Structure 1
Amino acid sequence: MRLATFNILHGRSPTDGRVDLDRLRSAVRALDADVLALQEVDRDQPRSHGADLTAVAAEAMGADEHRFVATMHGEPGVWSAATGDEQPAASSYGIALLSRLPVLSWQVVALPALRGRAPVQFPGARLPALVRDEARAAVLAAVSTPQGPLTVVATHLTFIPGWNVVQLRRLVRALRRQPRPLVLLGDLNLDPRRAAQASGMRALAHAATFPSQSPQRQLDHILADGPVAADGAAASLDLGLSDHRALAVDVRVSPGSPR
C-alpha cells in the first residue's frame, strides 16, 4: 500500500506560474498512491479555474473516497476562517484526504489558531515581518486495508515557528483514543527531529522535500504509531507543480511491525 503527501500550492507551477489541471492530473497519476494527503487545495477559486481540486485529484487516482476540509473561505486577500463548516458554499481553500481503499468513518479536528500577529523571519528579508496565520485543521479517516484497519490523519500546520509545535502536540493529544496503527501525513513545517519529538511518532519517510527544484529541507512528513512500517525507501518526487515535492512511501500493516 502506498501512502503519499503533497502540498500542491493550489496546483500552480513555480516555473511558469500557471495552474494547469491536466498537469495536476498527471502528477497525481504519477504518484500512484492508495491514500493521498493534499495541502493548499482550492475549491471554486478563480486562480485555479474555479475547479474542485480535490475532485480533480480523486478522479485522476481513482479514489472513490475523499474529503475536502475548508480552513478558509472567500478569495485570497479577503478570505476568513471557515469555522463551523467543513465545506462552505463559497470559494474555499484547505486540505484533503483521498483513498482508493474503503473508508469506514471520517472525522475533522480543529487546531488552535494563534491570535494576533507573530514575527516571522523570511529568507532574504533583513527584518522579521508581522504575519497573521491561517486557520488550521486535520482530517481523519478510518481506512480498511487488506491487512486490517489503519487510521490515517492529514494536516497542514502553521509556518510560524513554535506554534506549529503547539498545534502538533494538540493534534497528538486529540488522537490518543484513535485506534492504532495510525499514520500522520502532511506539511508540518517542521524538520524531522522536531516533528518526531513533538509527536512521539516514528518517521516512515526520510527525504528532503523543499524547495521542489533543489530540496534542502524536509517539511513534509509521514509519521507512524503502532504496527505499521515502511516497505522500502521513501521517494521525494518533483512532479512539475508546487514549491514542494511530493513524499511517498510503501507501507505494510502487520502485528510484527514496530510500535
Structure 2
Amino acid sequence: MPLTVMTYNIKTGGRGRLDAIARVAAAQRPDILALQELRAFHRDDGRLMRTLADAVGMHPFLARSWFAQPVAVLVRDPAWVVSAAPIRRPFHHAAERVVVATDQGDLTVVGAHLCPYSGWRRRWEARWLAARTDPARLALVMGDLNTLDPWTDHTERLRRLPERFRSRHLMPRTDGEVDTRAIRVLAAAGFVDLFRSAGHGDRTGDGEKDYTAPTAHGGGQEFHAMRLDYILGTPPVAALARSCRVVSGGETESASDHYPVVAVLDLEARPAALRTPRGRG
C-alpha cells in the first residue's frame, strides 16, 4: 500500500472546530500527519492532543513551542516509529522529527511551522531543518513554512494583500523583492517541492487550488491566494511521489484558514523491528 502524508495548519488550536478538523483529516486517511498551530495542546497532560489523535486514529508526537504554538507529527501505527523527538532549536513555533520504517529504508519526517513575521528568522529556521536531514536519504519536511516559493511571480497576489501584511513577504531595504529565502535554503539543501514535481502546480482549469491560504470561510485576512504550506522531499522521496495536491471544498473551507496538502508516495510503512535496510526490497 502506498504511503499517504498530509500537512495541516488548524488555526490557533482549532477552538470550536476540532470535530470538523478531524473529519477533514480522516477523510484523507493519512499514514503520517503534520499539524501546526496546536495552541494549548500540551496542557492538561495533552488532553486536546489525545482527543484529536483518537478522532483520526493516529498516535501523536508533540513538540512544544519556544515562543508561540506547538506542532505535532501523527503516525497511524506507532509500531512503525524508529525514533521521535523535537528539534532543539529556538524556533518561533516548533519542529518535530519522527523516523518511520519503510520497505525502502527509514524515512525521516520533519513537521515544522516557521516564523510568520520575519524572513530573516525563517531563513535561520530553514537552515536548522536542513541541517537535520541527509539529501541522499529518504526525508520529508512538511508544514506551514510561511514563505512564498521562488519559482512563481507573486506580484499580483502581494499587490492585493493588505499593506500591513505585505512586509512579511518582502526583503527589507529592497524595491519590493519577494522574500523566498527559507524555501531557497531548503531547495539548496536538496529538497524538492512535491507540489511542483508530482502535483498540479503547472495545470489550470482542473478545479484544484494552487494556493493554501486563505480558505473561503476560515478567515485569514493576512493572506491572498498564497501557497505557504509545503511537502518537500529529498530526491529519493521525490522519485517515489505519485501525487501532491491541495485539498479544498466541503469542510476544508471553514475548518481552518489553511487548506491541507496531501501527497502519496510509493513507500510502504512497516514495523520498525522489521525495517528493511535502504536499497533492499
TM-score normalised according to structure 1 size: 0.70
* Alpha-carbon distance between aligned partners in 2 of 1:50 and 1:144, rounded to the nearest angstrom: 28
Q: Residues 144, 237 of structure 1: CA spacing in aligned structure 2 closer, same or farther, 3 A cutoff?
A: farther
Distance of aligned partners of 1:50 and 1:28 in 2 relative to their CA distance in 1, 3 Å threshold: farther
Structure 1 stretches lacking a partner, 5+ long: 13-17, 73-80, 83-92, 114-134
| 1:85-234 aligned within 5 A | 93-101=69-77, 102-112=80-90, 135-162=92-119, 163-173=121-131, 175-176=132-133, 180-193=137-150, 194=180, 195-200=182-187, 201-205=191-195, 206=201, 207-213=210-216, 216-229=225-238, 230-234=241-245
Shift, 1:45, TM fit: 8.7
User: What letter corresponds to residue 82 of structure 2 in structure 1?
Assistant: L
Cα separation, 1, equivalents of 2:256 and 2:149: 21
User: Are the aligned partners of 1:148 and 1:253 in contact in 2 as well (CA < 8 Å)?
Assistant: no
**Does the residue aligned with 2:38 lie in a helix, a strand or coil?**
strand
Q: Which structure: greater helix fraction?
A: 2
The AA in structure 1 aligned to 2:126 is L
Q: Which runs of 4+ in 1 moved over 6 A?
A: none
Superposed CA offset, 1:136-167 (max 9, x none): 32110111134432110011000123221221
Q: In structure 1, how many angstroms separate the alpha carbons of the residues matched to 2:45 and 2:75?
A: 23
The answer on 1:71 being equivalent to 2:61 is no
Tell me the CA shift for residue 25 of structure 1. 2.2
In 2, the alpha carbon distance for the partners of 1:33 and 1:70 equals 23
Q: What code does the residue aligned with 1:94 have?
A: P
Assess, with a 3 A threshold, how the Cα gap between structure 1 residues 233 and 177 changes in structure 2: closer, same or farther.
closer
Q: CA separation of 1:22/1:50 partners in 2, compared to 1, >3 Å: closer, same or farther?
A: farther
CA positional deviation for 1:111: 3.2
Distance, in Å, in 2 between the alignment partners of 1:44 and 1:152 is: 20
| Number of corresponding residues | 208
Contact conserved, 1:11 with 1:241, CA < 8 A, in 2?
A: no
- Deviation string 1:197-251 (CA, Å, 9 cap, x unpaired) is 1112101125310111286110000001141132024233352311111111111
Q: Tell me the TM-score normalised to structure 2 length.
A: 0.65
Is contact 1:25–1:56 with CA below 8 Å preserved after alignment?
A: no
- Return closer, same or farther for 1:42/1:31 CA change in 2, 3 Å cut-off: farther
Tell me how far apart the structure 1 counterparts of residues 42 and 235 of structure 2 sit (CA, whole Å). Answer: 39
Identify the range of structure 1 (150-159 vs 238-247) with the bigger mean alpha-carbon deviation: 238-247
CA distance in 1 between partners of 2:8 and 2:266 (Å): 20
Q: CA deviation at 1:30?
A: 1.7
Q: 2:260 aligns with which of 221, 241, 246?
A: 246
SS in 2 for 1:98: strand
Name the CA distance, whole Å, in 1 between partners of 2:70 and 2:12.
9
RMSD of aligned residue pairs (Cα, Å): 3.0
Point out which structure has higher relative CO (alpha carbons under 8 A, 6+ apart).
Answer: 2
1:38–1:54 distance in 2 versus 1, CA, 3 Å: same
Q: How far off is 1:112 after superposition?
A: 3.6
Q: Are the aligned partners of 2:94 and 2:113 in contact in 1 as well (CA < 8 Å)?
A: yes
Is contact 1:158–1:164 with CA below 8 Å preserved after alignment?
yes
Instruction: Give the SS at the match of 2:212.
Output: coil
Q: Indicate the structure with greater strand content.
A: 1
Look up the SS of the partner of 2:65 in the other structure. strand
